Amino acid sequence: MSATKKLILDVADEHRVSALLHRPHDAWALYVFAHGAGAGMEHSFMETMAKDLAGAGVATLRFQFPYAETGKHRPDPPVLLEATVRAAVMRATDENLPLYAGGKSMGGRMTSQAQAQEDLPNVRGLVFFGFPLHPPGRPGVSRASHLDRVTIPMLFIQGTRDDLADLALMRSACSALGSRATLHVVEGGDHSFKVLKRSGRDEAAVRTEIRDAATAFMRKWLDKEKT
């Protein structure tokens, strides 16, 4: 059993955004889950992943960025996106659960940038569902430069066909971060973790793989804190 609660978050400069807290009765962690650039918190990937995580005992707090809240398509300036992430994390602390944060694509990147600027309160680690390392067709690692200032553990879940993250460059970026970074590769997955039919795997199997990678990472670092 789980319950979803609608919330309103106050953000900097008088912005207010909607949020959804999905908490299973047996929750052992809470993941602050930011959406990507092209779709809001109710996108099918966001909703399905929230349900999958709830089935494994992980609560989620999804939220809108201000531009998505008002129906715009152009993302807000990074400073406002980062402030929205911080507001969501602050609300999540009220749930008294071990906290993790991150998101899909741009949402994950904005979360890591916020963490690099100033530690997000009580967040133990970051989980990225398709970190956007570079624009499509323009391989580079400049978007990863701020990760040097992130001192908590990070999990990068990346597909081998992701056109926003050349896998060789992603491996190199993670290697440079040392023990702070874990890379989980989804064979055949694109930026949305869709796989080709000839792979022999369906959407449910890929989702299960992604969920298990995320929850195993969270469990690992919680267990390390206990020892």
Greatest distance between any 2 Cα atoms in the chain: 50
Residue 225 pLDDT > 90: no
User: The tokens of 82 are what?
Assistant: 């980062």
C-beta separation of 124 from 97 below 8 A = no
Measured CA to CA in angstroms, residue 63 lies from 79, 84, 89, 160 at distances of 16, 9, 10, 28
Of the pLDDT bands very low, low, confident and very high (cuts 50, 70, 90), residue 31 is very high
Mean pLDDT, the chain, whole residue set:
96
Fold of 2-226: Rossmann fold (3.40.50)
C-alpha 3: how far from its chain's center?
A: 21
Spell out where 80-201 has E strands: 99-104, 123-129, 154-159, 181-186
pTM (predicted TM-score): 0.96
φ, ψ at 150 (rounded to 5°): -95, 120
Residue 87 pLDDT > 70: yes
